[in-house]
A = this chain, B = another copy of it.
């Protein structure tokens, strides 16, 4: 079942320091290096919501995530490819990881059919009919010029019976193999014109104009599924290792199972993942979730929580959660977080942020989002320092106690 990785495309991962199961490292991609453990802000529709790219970079983010599902529908992967790929389209010159579309096609669209071949669905925007197959997902991510491409999988719903989880996981395994083959096939030399067919998973797609696909630093990640069943997670991990990927993601978590079951799943899944490859816990999470997952050996994270919470008046701070809409902040001249270096904290008071949010001002969403993304990047920086000094366990206790208040 093993397929040799196309080395020209491969990303590089170097581990610098291990502390228990946690590790710091550096991930080298076509568009730059990422210090791990890393948090990837979500840039769903080719923008991290309410943020300029300069603002995102100022927080320390070294990679963002783009959503295949949203981008394939609007403005379409073909248009982005024609305009030079996602980096050029949105003017983000650092690394981008794209998801496969699997999670969102199931959560946002109206599914009409899941089959061995893939998923047929109707767009949540205009009802138009589309199909994503493993081949089509990889093709789209190739057109977007993603530094890190994710295999197309089925995100197993939670809860699921053992049989449901097994069937879903094994479908994802078969899709994983097809994803790998599709990724290998899309070498720069195979370019022969822009695909005009949105639904057949054609392999005739072009390079994004001016893309860096002729350079090294592109990778494909597998995704371990199996719900909360240890035997299924181990089976999924083993089979994916046999296929061979540049990194391994853990999917199907943060879907309602709770932190204890999530940590439990990581406890038996991380040890069977390749030590030398990056591990990415998809869609996670709150600060304590992240620190706890790093303690178990995870290197990469993405989550909409900091951006979505920011647009909903919720701030993460070194003293816990703050709902800035609360009336107690109306006259408060202190900063949201005295230790934070973001513009919301250094230029403005809680009283002003409270006013902006109450008045429904866009600047409220902008500043609160900026703060939360700064908090998350500071959290990752703290995590890396605590790994370096072998003190991550005590940092986890500290973060947990702050957020239990």
Residues of A that sit less than 8 Å from B by CB: 45-47, 49-54, 74-75, 79, 82-83, 89-91, 330-331, 333, 343, 347-349, 351-352, 354-356, 358-359, 361-363, 365-367
| Residue from A45, A49, A50, A52 having most chain B Cβ neighbours under 10 A | A52
Closest to A359 in B: B45
Of B75, B347, B359, B361, the contact of A91 (CB 8 Å cutoff): B347
**Contact residues in B for A356 (Cβ distance below 8 Å):** 45-47
Question: In the bound complex, do residue B51 and residue A363 qualify as a contact, i.e. CB atoms below 8 Å apart?
Answer: yes
Question: In the bound complex, do residue B363 and residue A49 qualify as a contact, i.e. CB atoms below 8 Å apart?
Answer: yes
A79 CA to B349 CA in the complex, in Å?
13
A51 CA to B52 CA in the complex, in Å?
11
**Contact residues in B for A362 (Cβ distance below 8 Å):** 49-50, 362, 365-366
Of B331, B343, B355, the contact of A74 (CB 8 Å cutoff): B355
A162 CA to B89 CA in the complex, in Å?
57
Question: In the bound complex, do residue A79 and residue B49 qualify as a contact, i.e. CB atoms below 8 Å apart?
Answer: no
Question: In the bound complex, do residue A330 and residue B79 qualify as a contact, i.e. CB atoms below 8 Å apart?
Answer: yes
**Contact residues in B for A45 (Cβ distance below 8 Å):** 355-356, 359, 361
Question: In the bound complex, do residue B46 and residue A82 qualify as a contact, i.e. CB atoms below 8 Å apart?
Answer: no
A91 → chain B closest CB, angstroms: 5
Question: In the bound complex, do residue A47 and residue B91 qualify as a contact, i.e. CB atoms below 8 Å apart?
Answer: no
A359 → chain B closest CB, angstroms: 5
Question: In the bound complex, do residue B75 and residue A330 qualify as a contact, i.e. CB atoms below 8 Å apart?
Answer: yes
Question: In the bound complex, do residue B90 and residue A352 qualify as a contact, i.e. CB atoms below 8 Å apart?
Answer: yes
Question: In the bound complex, do residue A75 and residue B355 qualify as a contact, i.e. CB atoms below 8 Å apart?
Answer: yes
A52 CA to B46 CA in the complex, in Å?
21
A263 → chain B closest CB, angstroms: 35
10 tightest A-B CB contacts, nearest first? A50-B362, A47-B363, A45-B359, A75-B355, A91-B347, A47-B361, A83-B351, A91-B348, A89-B352, A74-B359
Given A75-B355, A351-B89, A352-B91, verify A83-B331 contact (CB < 8 Å).
yes
Closest to A364 in B: B47
Of B51, B52, B83, B355, the contact of A349 (CB 8 Å cutoff): B83
A359 CA to B66 CA in the complex, in Å?
14
A128 → chain B closest CB, angstroms: 15
A172 → chain B closest CB, angstroms: 29
Question: In the bound complex, do residue A366 and residue B52 qualify as a contact, i.e. CB atoms below 8 Å apart?
Answer: yes
A363 CA to B53 CA in the complex, in Å?
10
**Contact residues in B for A74 (Cβ distance below 8 Å):** 355, 358-359
**Contact residues in B for A363 (Cβ distance below 8 Å):** 47, 49-52
What are 14 inter-chain pairs, A to B, with CB distance below 8 A?
A45-B361, A46-B352, A49-B361, A49-B363, A52-B367, A75-B330, A75-B354, A75-B355, A79-B351, A82-B331, A83-B351, A89-B352, A90-B352, A91-B348
